[in-house]
Amino acid sequence: MSWLNAALLFAVFAGHCELMAAWSNRVHGLKLKHRVTSKVRAVHDLLVFGAVPGLLFGFGLFGYRLLRGGEWAAVPWGWKAYFALCGLGVISLLVCTARNLFRPLPTGVRRASRRIDVTAELGFKPIGAGRRRHQAAMPWNGQFTLEAVELELTLPDLPSGWDGLTIGHVSDAHFQGEVSLPFFERAFAELAAWRCDLYVFTGDLIDNPARVDWIAPTFGQLSKANPACGCRFILGNHDWHYEVAPLRAALEAVGWEDVSGRVETLHRGGDPLALAGDESPWLNGPPDWSQAPPEAFRLLLAHTPDLFPGAQREGVNLMLAGHNHGGQITLPLIGPVYAPSRHGVRYAGGTYREGATALHVSRGLSGRQPLRYGAVPEVTRLTLRCPSDAATGG
């Protein structure tokens, strides 16, 4: 057996998988209906899993017999060209792995977290009805482990009047049924216990319109906490598949305000903060920032982190997003592989800073597929800080 050729064929397979993941991620980042993305996923699965017998039998053991003394010279140029492309896929995979392993927290960010075993607290695993309930019940599924993340962000342009503002951020509820209501009630109870000044939700509320009655016992907890700056929401791409007017009405009925496609200016200590929402490319589009005072600190709620470059161009100071679920499944060392984004897994989850704009991407609470391996559900409290010299008047 030729071990060198075996290694080369394995590298081809790894590069092929990276190319298929990159293609699938970017297609899923487009404005497409589920019936289209499900077909894309089926083609992806066929090409990934079909590559194993194809390489092993078509090139390794039989066909060109590369594992049994065959020569690469016999392989047609078309296949050689694609295998070379797979080599670029290997390089991309190595770059993504290095970025995952060595990406530090941005300057001015402090992070602490604790994990909550919701199953242990409840005394039962909160699995409900639905055709994907077998996924929720899979061994070692982290879907029912909740991470409570506390971030302190020092933001150079934050006015002194907003120093110490606390924001409770939750995203991607995906109310559907396989993850039952008690899990979500526990997650929102954690948010409510923080007594934040402002609560925000960044989309993907529902995957089953029958679960609209879950909004009151979950989101209602936060509005009942009487946050000083209220509760604001936008919707996401999964909500786009349904009638959104009842969803907006249900959230508004429990005290949440819709900021999609508009800018709202809040004041504290005489300083303005412009809060806006952007549901692009699915629902209400970009807000008109000219409605905000020019000196206002700009806070943007967006469903997808794909809007990050545009937020930077608009002078947004802080953007909060979800959509990518932290990759939902991450591999040891490699990290996340799949994220529905035109940036691939670059903004799968976590905190980023580019130029003057900071971004936090929540892993969210659930997903259409209730599977979590290495990317457990998340609720977040962000505390905004002025630079120390500005905050102390120095």
The CATH number of the structural domain formed by 109-391 is 3.60.21.10
- Say what the pTM is: 0.94
The ranges assigned to domains in the chain are: 3-102, 109-391
DSSP helix/strand/coil, 186 = helix
What is the arithmetic mean of pLDDT over 133-138? 94
Q: How far is CA 173 from CA 110, 144, 307, 394, in A?
A: 26, 13, 20, 43
Give the span between the Cα atoms of 36 and 28, in whole angstroms. Answer: 9
Instruction: Please give the DSSP secondary-structure letter assigned to residue 191.
Output: H
Q: Residue 24: pLDDT band by 50, 70, 90 thresholds?
A: very high
Question: Is it the case that residue 391 has pLDDT exceeding 50?
Answer: no
Q: What average pLDDT does range 332-336 have in this prediction?
A: 90
Amino acid code (one letter) for 59 = F
pLDDT band of 2, cuts 50, 70, 90: confident
Please tell me which residue, 68 or 1, carries the higher pLDDT value.
68
Cα–Cα distance, 163 to 39 (Å, whole number): 48
The DSSP bridge pattern shows strands 297-302 and 318-321 to be: parallel
How large is the average pLDDT for residues 185-196? 98
Query: How high is the mean pLDDT of the chain?
Result: 94
d(CA 307, CA 141): 30
More confident residue, 130 or 76: 76
Give the model's pLDDT for residue 151: 98
What band does 390 get if pLDDT is binned at 50, 70 and 90?
Answer: very low
Asked if residue 154 has pLDDT above 50, the reply is yes
394 — pLDDT class (breaks 50, 70, 90): very low
pLDDT score at 156: 92
Note the pLDDT of residue 175. Answer: 97
Going from the C-alpha of 217 to that of each of 109, 183, 332, the distances in angstroms are 33, 11, 37
Quick one: pLDDT at residue 140? Answer: 95
Q: Read out DSSP for 135-161?
A: HHTSTT-GGGEEEEEEEEEE-TT--GG
State the pLDDT confidence band at 100, using cuts at 50, 70 and 90. confident
**DSSP run (H or E) holding 170:** strand 166-170
The DSSP H or E segment spanning 216 is helix 215-224
Give me the percent of the chain exceeding a pLDDT of 90.
92
